[in-house]
């Protein structure tokens, strides 16, 4: 079995870091235009009660959203709703 370093060396363009999933809110909205700023503000405001807090990190002033976790959260909400 190959190590991660070997895989990265052989195919650097295919490797994505877990950090690549974290996007600043404006970048997330640009990459996902199906969500409006108003929708995201409401979801962020209620993140402790709606379960979205697992997808959100605030580092200093910027808010970061984990796109993969957000997608999983949407699927969970679909199944719960």
Of 36, 32, 23, the residue nearest 65 (C-alpha): 23
Mean pLDDT in residue range 15-34: 87
Alpha-carbon dihedral sign for residues 18, 21, 27, 31 = positive
- Would you state the pLDDT for residue 18? 78
- Would you state the pLDDT for residue 1? 46
Residue 21 above 60 pLDDT?
yes
Residue 35 above 90 pLDDT?
yes
Average per-residue pLDDT in the chain? 85
CB 57 within 8 A of CB 22: yes
More confident residue, 15 or 27: 27
Mean pLDDT in residue range 13-38: 86
Residue 7 above 60 pLDDT?
no
Q: Determine the Cα–Cα distance for residues 54 and 70; give it in Å rounded to an integer.
A: 9
pTM for this prediction: 0.72
Q: How is the chain split into domains, by residue range?
A: 22-80
């Amino acid at each position: 079995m190959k190590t991660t370093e070997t895989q990265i060396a052989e195919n650097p363009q295919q490797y994505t870091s877990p950090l690549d999933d974290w996007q600043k809110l404006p970048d997330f909205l640009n990459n996902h235009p199906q969500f409006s700023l108003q929708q995201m503000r409401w979801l962020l405001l209620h993140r402790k009660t709606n379960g979205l807090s697992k997808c959100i990190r605030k580092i200093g002033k910027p808010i970061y959203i984990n796109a993969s976790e957000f997608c999983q959260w949407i699927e969970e909400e679909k199944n719960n709703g």
